[in-house]
């Protein structure tokens, strides 16, 4: 019984009884399948209405739009798996955008003069800033025992405010860089393509692959699930819970910063309101993908699928020319509907688990 | 003893309040009794409230108003309501509690702002609206806006000319709750709908937002690959649309509205084709000047509704545009 509560459904640990393992796998398939079914229905629906929906170029474009939310959502999923929540990811994306945009546009003013960094360094700094903000979230949650909702809600405001302070509210309009500053090429990550696929999509694939490996194949991944499944049990089994928690907020912050940079690169401009309210889209993607807000249950693949559902839905509505207001109504309804089906499946799952136990 | 203090305390407090109230009464009584600004009690504070300075247009508006107010010897408090009427209402309360001499406001909603402005008026603080109107007269002292209808007409004409009077186009509209979004869209269509061969194949709101304009334009271009032009309700959306056009490697005519420096420089680089300049700085300065006159004289120097004409910016005159003003116009 302890096995089923502490261990994640995926991957079913080898020591679980074979019956339970099979059930967990079947339930997992159902959970995954649900998001996939919704996605297939969406694609079929929009393809029937608009011949442009199911074209190669539109699929690539929609995937590119998905990439930003998916990367945010993957980071948030780590946090939610531990039973926490990260409301600050949109603001962290905005902050990273402003920090990097500022470094490209105005440089770093030092006493000896203004310094410009190469694009790679600028991107790295942006991600490190995101990770550091995440670390602060983690410390607030662990060391200062602030509830994750409150700690990251506070950070939502603080990070956004700092982003606005960076430019006094203004926009950094041109991030193309100049040869003499040696900082050209920021557009590569957000605008360019590699083998016909946007670089942003490759980055999303890489982040997703890494996250899948980490959650399913590493001791750290198992600890993340353990902390979220039953924190007391995790403590008693010798897991350094605080370390795990800080690590997930760092991951979330870094992912958020990366998403912010992709968005900024694509836009070619950094403005302090970048990615406002994107945290809600990210959390919605995770929940749609079957991640339980209580922690301990969920998968990266599910989250990515959730992001695809949200993105393909929003783009589909724009493509067929539905008004903004209806877009909002439909999106909200789909999210709530997804959670209702998730709850139903949870009941089914626990019913099955009880019968076999 | 306890009982006594229980009675005396409220009485004492009431007495203090009464004295305080009398104090402020007599203070204003020494001034011009007919002055509606009497409640301000000789304050030298001008509160400037605009949407987020994130958009350079509002930044220019704020800066011009603050600079002019300082020049006339006022203290300033600059706030942003981020297009949230609730936040705006709280900021107006702040202005009331700080006993501001006047409020310069670019409001957060034509209807949802009326009550808050009325509250300021009841507290004796005059409000001067800039850039956006409200759906009620007699509440604010002045409503100084750029002539959006006239400006949109200019933008529409230029767009139709650039399109050669025919072809498919898309429109990006602003936030639906903002009067200007509707006025500009109507202004565009007042011209464009007269061309039977100009066909609008998509119309979406991008909520004045650059990133939203980018993604929506990309999707619209998927649905309608033959689009020849995109007309946007403001410059931030035009910039977002143009980023999408560039990413798609297409040649598409993009026209904006505002006259922001970023779009002007894009016009000079043969990117975006045209925009309509709103004299933001001039409007801010007019509002501050009129507020100053009102504070001093107690009456409005101009009619409430005032409109300032917009100017078309295209490659011909883009060079002479700086900070929302065309040199020599």
Query: Which range has the worst mean pLDDT, A209-213, A237-241, B323-327?
Result: B323-327
- Residue B106 has a pLDDT of 95
- Give the pLDDT band of residue A1 (cuts 50, 70, 90): very low
Spatial strand order of the sheet with B229-232 comes to B198-205, B167-173, B229-232, B253-255
Lookup: tokens for A357: 């136990």
Q: Are strands A193-194 and A108-110 parallel, antiparallel or unpaired?
A: unpaired
Average pLDDT, chain A: 86
Read off the pLDDT of residues A84-126 as tens digits, 9 standing for 90 and up: 999 999 999 999 999 999 999 988 888 888 888 989 999 999 9
- Give the pLDDT band of residue B94 (cuts 50, 70, 90): confident
- Give the pLDDT band of residue B20 (cuts 50, 70, 90): very low
Query: Which range has the worst mean pLDDT, A232-246, B12-26, B263-277?
Result: B12-26
- Residue A36 has a pLDDT of 84
Read off the pLDDT of residues B28-60 as tens digits, 9 standing for 90 and up: 333 333 334 444 456 789 999 999 887 888 989
Length of chain B: 329
Residue A206 burial (CB < 10 Å; 0-12/13-18/19+)? exposed
* Cβ–Cβ contact A322 with B under 8 A: no
- Give the pLDDT band of residue A244 (cuts 50, 70, 90): very high
Task: Looking at the complex, report in whole angstroms how far the Cα of residue B54 sits from the nearest Cα belonging to chain A.
Answer: 5
- Cβ pair B262:A268 closer than 8 A: no
For every residue of B9-44, DSSP letters joined together read: HHHHHHHHHHHHHHHHHHHHHTS-TT-GGGGGTT--
Provide, as residue numbers in chain B, all residues whose Cβ is less than 8 Å from the Cβ of A65. 215, 218-219
Sorted by where each begins, the domain ranges of chain A are 2-356
- Residue A285 has a pLDDT of 93
Read off the pLDDT of residues B215-260 as tens digits, 9 standing for 90 and up: 999 999 999 999 999 999 999 999 999 999 998 999 999 999 999 8
Read off the pLDDT of residues A133-186 as tens digits, 9 standing for 90 and up: 999 999 999 999 999 999 999 999 999 999 989 888 778 888 888 888 888 888
Provide, as residue numbers in chain B, all residues whose Cβ is less than 8 Å from the Cβ of A315. 215, 219
Number of neighbours of residue A112 by Cβ within 10 angstroms? 6
Residue A127 burial (CB < 10 Å; 0-12/13-18/19+)? buried
Average pLDDT, chain B: 86
Structurally, at CATH architecture level, domain A2-356 sits in Orthogonal Bundle (1.10)
- Cβ pair A324:B205 closer than 8 A: yes
- Residue A21 has a pLDDT of 63
- Cβ pair A267:B243 closer than 8 A: yes
* Cβ–Cβ contact A128 with B under 8 A: no
Provide, as residue numbers in chain A, all residues whose Cβ is less than 8 Å from the Cβ of B243. 266-269
- Cβ pair A57:B207 closer than 8 A: no
Helix (H) or strand (E) segment spanning residue B202: strand B198-205
Of A90 and B20, which is predicted with more confidence?
A90
- Give the pLDDT band of residue A357 (cuts 50, 70, 90): low
**Searching chain A, which residue's CA lies closest to the CA of residue B53?**
A169
> What's the angle, vertex CA B76, arms to CA B75 and CA B79, rounded to 5?
160
With 0.80 as the threshold, say if the pTM is over it: no
From the list B54, B219, B261, which residue is nearest A61 (CB)?
Answer: B219
Q: What is the largest CA-CA distance in chain B?
A: 91
What's the average model confidence in pLDDT over A316-340?
83
Beta-carbon pairs below 8 A across chains A and B: 83
Read off the pLDDT of residues B161-204 as tens digits, 9 standing for 90 and up: 999 999 999 999 998 878 889 999 999 999 999 999 999 999 99
**Searching chain B, which residue's CA lies closest to the CA of residue A187?**
B247
- Cβ pair A266:B220 closer than 8 A: no
Percent with pLDDT over 70 in chain A: 89
Domains of chain B: 36-145+280-307 (3.40.50.2300), 148-277 (3.40.50.2300)
- Mutate which of B80, B218, B230, B258 to disrupt the A interface (most A C-beta within 10 Å)? B218
Q: How far is CA A73 from CA A284, A310, B211, in A?
A: 8, 11, 18
Rounded CA-CA distance A147/A135 in Å is 15
Cα-to-chain-centroid distance, residue B55: 11
Rounded CA-CA distance A317/A323 in Å is 8
């Amino acid at each position: 019984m302890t096995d089923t509560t502490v261990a994640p459904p995926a991957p079913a640990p080898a020591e679980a009884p074979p019956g339970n393992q099979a059930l967990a796998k079947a339930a997992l398939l159902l959970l995954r399948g649900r998001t996939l079914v919704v996605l297939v229905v969406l694609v079929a629906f929009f393809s029937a209405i608009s011949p442009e929906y199911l074209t190669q170029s539109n699929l690539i474009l929609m995937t590119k739009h998905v990439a930003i939310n998916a990367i945010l959502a993957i980071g948030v999923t780590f946090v939610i798996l531990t039973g926490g929540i990260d409301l600050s990811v949109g603001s962290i994306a905005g902050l990273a955008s402003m920090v990097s945009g500022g470094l490209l546009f105005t440089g770093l003013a030092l006493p000896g003069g203004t310094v410009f960094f190469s694009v790679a360094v600028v991107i790295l700094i942006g991600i490190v800033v995101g990770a550091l903000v995440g670390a602060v979230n983690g410390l607030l949650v662990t060391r200062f025992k602030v509830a994750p909702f409150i700690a990251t809600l506070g950070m939502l405001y603080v990070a956004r405010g700092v982003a606005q302070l960076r430019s006094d509210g203004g926009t950094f309009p041109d991030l193309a860089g100049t040869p003499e500053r040696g900082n050209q090429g920021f557009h590569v990550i957000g605008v360019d393509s590699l083998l016909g696929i946007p670089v942003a999509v490759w980055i999303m694939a890489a982040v997703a692959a890494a996250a899948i490996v980490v959650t399913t194949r590493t001791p750290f991944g198992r600890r993340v699930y353990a902390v979220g499944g039953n924190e007391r049990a995790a403590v008693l089994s010798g897991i350094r819970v605080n370390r795990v928690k800080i690590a997930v907020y760092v991951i979330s912050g870094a992912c958020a910063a990366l998403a912010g940079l992709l968005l900024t690169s694509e836009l070619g401009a950094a403005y302090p309101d970048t990615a406002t309210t994107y945290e809600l889209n990210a959390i919605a993607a995770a929940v749609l993908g079957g991640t339980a807000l209580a922690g301990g249950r969920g998968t990266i693949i599910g989250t990515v699928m959730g992001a695809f559902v949200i993105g393909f839905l929003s783009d589909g509505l724009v493509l067929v020319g539905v008004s903004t207001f209806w877009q909002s109504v439909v999106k909200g309804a789909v999210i709530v509907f997804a959670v209702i089906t998730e709850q139903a499946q949870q009941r089914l799952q626990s019913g099955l688990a009880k019968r076999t136990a | 003893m306890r009982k006594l203090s229980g009675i005396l305390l409220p009485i004492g407090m009431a007495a203090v309040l009464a004295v305080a109230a009398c104090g402020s009464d007599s203070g204003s009584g020494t001034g011009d009794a007919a002055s509606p600004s009497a409640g301000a009690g000789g304050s030298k504070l001008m509160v400037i409230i605009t949407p987020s300075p994130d958009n350079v247009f509002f930044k220019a508006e704020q800066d011009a108003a603050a600079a002019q107010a300082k020049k006339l010897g006022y203290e300033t408090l600059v706030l942003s309501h981020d297009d949230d009427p609730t936040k705006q209402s709280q900021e107006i309360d702040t202005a009331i509690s700080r006993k501001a001499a006047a409020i310069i406001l670019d409001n957060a909603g034509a209807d949802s702002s009326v009550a808050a402005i009325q509250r300021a008026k009841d507290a004796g603080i005059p409000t001067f609206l800039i850039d956006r109107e409200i759906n009620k007269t007699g509440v604010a002292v002045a409503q100084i806006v750029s002539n959006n209808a006239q400006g949109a007409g200019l933008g529409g004409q230029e767009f139709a000319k650039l399109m050669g009077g025919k072809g498919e186009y898309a429109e990006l509209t602003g936030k639906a709750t903002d009067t200007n979004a509707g006025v500009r869209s109507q202004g565009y269509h007042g011209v464009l709908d007269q061309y039977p061969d100009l066909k609008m194949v998509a119309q979406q709101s991008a909520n004045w937002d650059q990133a939203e304009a980018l993604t929506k334009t990309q999707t619209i271009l998927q649905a309608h690959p033959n689009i020849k032009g995109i007309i946007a309700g403001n410059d931030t959306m035009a910039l977002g649309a143009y980023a999408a056009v560039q990413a798609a490697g297409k040649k598409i005519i993009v026209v904006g509205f505002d006259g922001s420096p970023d779009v002007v420089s894009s016009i000079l680089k043969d990117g975006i084709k045209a925009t309509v300049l709103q004299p933001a700085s001039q409007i801010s300065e007019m509002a501050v000047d009129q507020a100053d006159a009102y504070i001093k004289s107690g009456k409005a120097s101009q009619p409430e509704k005032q409109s300032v004409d917009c100017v078309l910016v295209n490659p011909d005159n883009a060079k002479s545009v700086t900070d929302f003003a065309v040199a020599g116009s």
